């Protein structure tokens, strides 16, 4: 029987997805002018977000759909939202556009290789 201590350590993964965020809405883009940024954006001075950004990988050169549901489904499944007929709209009950239950999501793939997964938000 293998013990957890005998297994190689896998990296911890924290995937954060937010939408409707402007370039200057996150503090790590304003590090060059911290005082002015703190005065101008006092509610968005998020030191923990800055620490995560400095310690991890930031994906900043990408393009998404203009609304959240198609973007989220594409990121979660690795497939274009057009495959589900949802590239122009949000998902709603009875609309006929949704990700099929048979589709594998990012969390499914992580769990399959032994990760514990959590999802929060909308």
104-108: long-range contacts, CB 8 A cutoff, minimum separation 24: 104/77, 105/76, 105/77, 106/15, 106/75, 106/76, 106/77, 106/78, 107/76
One domain for residues 54 and 89: no
Cβ-based burial of 98 (10 A; exposed 0-12, middle 13-18, buried ≥19): middle
Position 111 scores a pLDDT of 95
Q: Does residue 120 form part of some domain?
A: no
Residue numbers in the chain where pLDDT is lower than 50: none
One domain for residues 1 and 54: yes
Distance of alpha carbon 93 from alpha carbon 96, whole angstroms: 8
Q: Does residue 119 form part of some domain?
A: no
Q: Does residue 91 form part of some domain?
A: yes
Q: Which domain holds residue 9?
A: 1-62
Position 101 scores a pLDDT of 83
One domain for residues 9 and 55: yes
Tell me if residue 109 falls in helix, strand or coil: helix
Structural domains of the chain, count? 2
One domain for residues 73 and 56: no
- Residue 6 is encoded by which pair of tokens? 């005998």
């Amino acid at each position: 029987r293998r013990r957890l201590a005998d297994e190689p350590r896998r990296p911890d993964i924290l995937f954060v997805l937010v939408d409707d965020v402007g370039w200057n809405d996150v503090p790590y883009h304003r590090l060059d002018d911290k005082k002015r940024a703190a005065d101008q954006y006092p509610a968005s001075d998020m030191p923990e977000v800055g620490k995560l950004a400095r310690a991890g990988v930031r994906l900043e050169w990408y393009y998404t759909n203009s609304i959240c549901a198609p973007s989220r489904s594409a990121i979660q499944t690795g497939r274009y939202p057009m495959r589900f007929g949802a590239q122009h709209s949000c998902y709603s009950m009875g609309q006929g556009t949704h990700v099929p239950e048979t589709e594998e999501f990012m969390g499914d793939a992580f769990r399959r290789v032994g990760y514990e997964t959590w999802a929060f938000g909308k």
